[in-house]
Amino acid sequence: MNGRGRAMAVIGAVMISALLAGCEGNTRAVFTKPELITYERLAVLGLDPEQEQIFMAVYMKTFVGKPITFVERGELAKIIGEQDLLQGRLNEKTRARIKQILGVEALFLCSYYKDEDRPGKLMKLRVRVVDSETGAIVGSALTETFMRFDNHAQAAVEALKKDLLGGGYHRSYPRSNQEPM
């Protein structure tokens, strides 16, 4: 290899390294069962009120045309305590009461947290969709990125929908300097 060929190889290696280093976030739908599309009365647990509103709005915009109702946080709080609501803690009896009293068909159990094992402000959103009658997990998605919560919510819901419509979903995001919400 001549001098010019070596220089091109080095430049190519540097460009590939820079490109790969920029892919700091990703999203994947772990799995989604067909039942998810049939649920119309839903509830979100594990997020703060602002994040909950963002998640519900994203879900409704993603599944536009589908009759979806989200149960108000206040109604859920009457059945389970605020601390359990924020942490997404449910037992079988509580889940059954949510189904019986509020008619909730599925629960989005979410956790939004900082990845303590990674430097910086890498945030993760884990979403599990649970059938409120059976307790079966019918969908699951995970996002990890430096972006704000609304980006996480959009990516997670998009992953669930795409997995539901046609199989596995995985998306990588370029590095972002935005502060997470």
Average per-residue pLDDT for the chain: 77
Q: Residue 71's CB: how many other CB atoms inside 10 A?
A: 19
* Whether the Cβ atoms of residue 62 and residue 37 lie closer than 8 Å to each other: no
pLDDT digits (tens, 9 = 90+) for 142-170: 999 888 899 999 999 998 888 888 755 44
Predicted pLDDT of residue 177: 45
* Whether the Cβ atoms of residue 140 and residue 29 lie closer than 8 Å to each other: yes
pLDDT digits (tens, 9 = 90+) for 28-55: 767 678 888 889 999 998 899 999 999 9
* Whether the Cβ atoms of residue 106 and residue 138 lie closer than 8 Å to each other: yes
Predicted pLDDT of residue 6: 55
Average pLDDT over residues 57-67: 92
Main-chain dihedrals φ then ψ at residue 164, nearest 5 degrees: -60, -40
Predicted pLDDT of residue 21: 35
The pTM of the whole model exceeds 0.85 = no
Predicted pLDDT of residue 98: 87
* Whether the Cβ atoms of residue 26 and residue 146 lie closer than 8 Å to each other: no
* Whether the Cβ atoms of residue 42 and residue 106 lie closer than 8 Å to each other: yes
* Whether the Cβ atoms of residue 23 and residue 174 lie closer than 8 Å to each other: yes
Q: In what order do the strands lie in the sheet with 137-145?
A: 69-70, 41-45, 106-114, 123-131, 137-145, 23-32, 169-174
At 37, which helix (H) or strand (E)?
A: none
Q: Round to whole Å and give the CA distance between 175 and 118.
A: 14
β-sheet bridge partners, residue 25: 173
Full set of structural domains in the chain with CATH = 25-174 (3.40.50.10610)
Q: 133: buried, middle or exposed (CB in 10 Å: 19+, 13-18, 0-12)?
A: middle
